[in-house]
């Protein structure tokens, strides 16, 4: 019995059926497409990997400059803020209130920080109004002093306003007042200055140029400038511009006047002081940005202070004027009531961008050097 066989060509090879030819013809483009997609996928993964490496490198670079990449800071988990003040509520249990027999007043020192303030005389008034002994301490914002304040060993604390949010969020500090005069808050402003003939006309133009700063813990000479450039321009330190250090406000300002530097972060009061002494001339520089006033000194107590004692201290603080009185009324400093949420926004913005503990003790200097 014979069996049907598939026809063969002249060479004897089997020829594919027409359906098979069409199948292969349809698969070839699909295989090509799959290859292209695989290549694109691999390339995309490699590109994302490279971007992640660059991003991580940029974050490390910014962190090395002290800049925080974690966003706005809030009260520590153990605190509550039922009134939305951004401040810790007092403890509910009266057993957690502290009512020390001796009040320890720790304050920053120096003519630039608390000009005209007589702490000794005010502390005498505080002792009379509270009936308690008062001990005076100088505050330098060291880690040991922060720990002492957090443990209740400091009753009343006067410190640079830009350092206050760290204590507010982590230890329940309650800013009550700032030093000021009849015209308002005593403080200074950040100025970004350039040589008079510089092509840099606005903060965005700083990209690609070295920014001269003073020292790492300076407010106007470093932290306020870096925070502003990051927040408003998304310019990243040592990524979009290089930071160089002058080691002092005077060096930064005269360096701009002499065209040694492209742009510098300085304090407006130091700038005005050098102008008044004719150390520089107004024609030698331009201001491309000036910040709102950054308060110098804020004073307050901690959230767990006995409310009755806290009220006595509040009255003593808000009734205080610096003595002896200077010749001009405008030079008389007094404590002005302050609303932390409303009035200290600028120092919170700085704190959101910076860890105030960063390199704070590396160099011996003041905040407004």
What's the CATH number where 301 sits?
3.40.190.10
Only one residue has tokens 């005498």, namely: 124
- Specify the pLDDT at position 245: 94
pLDDT of 275 > 90? The answer is yes
> Does the reported pTM lie above 0.95?
no
For the ranges 1-5, 251-255, 344-348, which has the lowest average pLDDT? Answer: 1-5
Q: Is residue 98 part of a domain?
A: yes
pLDDT digits (tens, 9 = 90+) for 66-77: 666 566 889 999
Q: Is residue 144 part of a domain?
A: yes
- Specify the pLDDT at position 325: 43
Residues 198 and 281 in one domain: yes
Q: Is residue 110 part of a domain?
A: yes
How many distinct structural domains can be found in the chain?
Answer: 2
Residues 285 and 307 in one domain: no
What pLDDT band is residue 59 in, cutting at 50, 70 and 90? low
**Mean pLDDT for the chain?**
81
Q: Is residue 276 part of a domain?
A: yes
Q: Is residue 175 part of a domain?
A: yes
What pLDDT band is residue 190 in, cutting at 50, 70 and 90? very high
- Specify the pLDDT at position 97: 94
Q: Is residue 72 part of a domain?
A: no
Interval 208-232 mean pLDDT: 91
List b or e across 4-36, with b for residues whose CB sees 16 or more CB atoms inside 10 angstroms: eeeeeeeeeeeeeeeeeeeeeeeeeeeeeeeee
Domain that holds residue 263: 190-290
**At which of 246, 275, 290 does a domain end?**
290
Residues 282 and 322 in one domain: no
Interval 7-30 mean pLDDT: 59
């Amino acid at each position: 019995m014979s069996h049907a066989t598939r026809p063969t060509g002249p060479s004897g090879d089997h020829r594919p059926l027409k359906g098979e030819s069409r199948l292969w013809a349809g698969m070839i483009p699909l295989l090509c497409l799959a290859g292209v997609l695989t290549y694109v996928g691999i390339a995309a993964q490699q590109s994302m990997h490279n971007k992640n490496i660059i991003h991580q490198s940029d974050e490390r670079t910014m962190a090395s400059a002290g800049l925080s990449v974690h966003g706005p800071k809030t009260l520590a988990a153990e605190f509550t803020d039922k009134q939305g003040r951004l401040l810790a509520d007092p403890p509910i249990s009266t057993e957690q209130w502290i009512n020390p027999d001796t009040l320890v007043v720790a304050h920053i020192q120096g003519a630039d920080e608390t000009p005209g303030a007589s702490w000794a005389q005010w502390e005498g008034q505080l002792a009379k109004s509270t009936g308690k002994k008062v001990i005076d301490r100088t505050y330098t914002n060291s880690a040991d002093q922060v720990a002492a304040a957090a443990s209740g060993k400091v009753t009343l604390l006067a410190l640079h306003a830009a350092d206050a949010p760290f204590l507010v969020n982590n230890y329940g500090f309650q800013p009550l007042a700032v030093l000021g005069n009849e015209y308002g808050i005593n403080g200074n402003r950040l100025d970004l200055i350039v040589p008079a003939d510089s092509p840099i006309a606005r903060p965005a133009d700083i990209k690609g140029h070295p920014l001269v700063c003073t020292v790492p813990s300076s407010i106007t000479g470093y932290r306020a400038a870096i925070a502003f450039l990051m927040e408003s321009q998304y310019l990243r330190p040592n990524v979009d511009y290089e930071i160089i250090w002058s080691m002092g406000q005077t060096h930064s300002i005269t360096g701009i006047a002499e065209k040694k530097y492209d742009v510098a972060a300085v304090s407006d009061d130091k700038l005005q002081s050098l102008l008044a002494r004719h150390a520089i001339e107004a024609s030698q520089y331009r201001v491309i940005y000036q910040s709102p006033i950054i308060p110098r000194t804020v004073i307050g107590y901690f959230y767990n202070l006995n409310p009755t004692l806290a009220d006595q201290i509040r009255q003593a603080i808000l009734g205080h004027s610096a003595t002896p009185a200077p010749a001009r009324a405008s030079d008389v400093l007094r404590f002005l009531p302050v609303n932390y949420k409303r009035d200290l926004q600028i120092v919170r913005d700085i704190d959101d961008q910076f860890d105030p503990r960063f390199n704070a003790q590396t160099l011996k200097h003041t905040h407004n050097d």
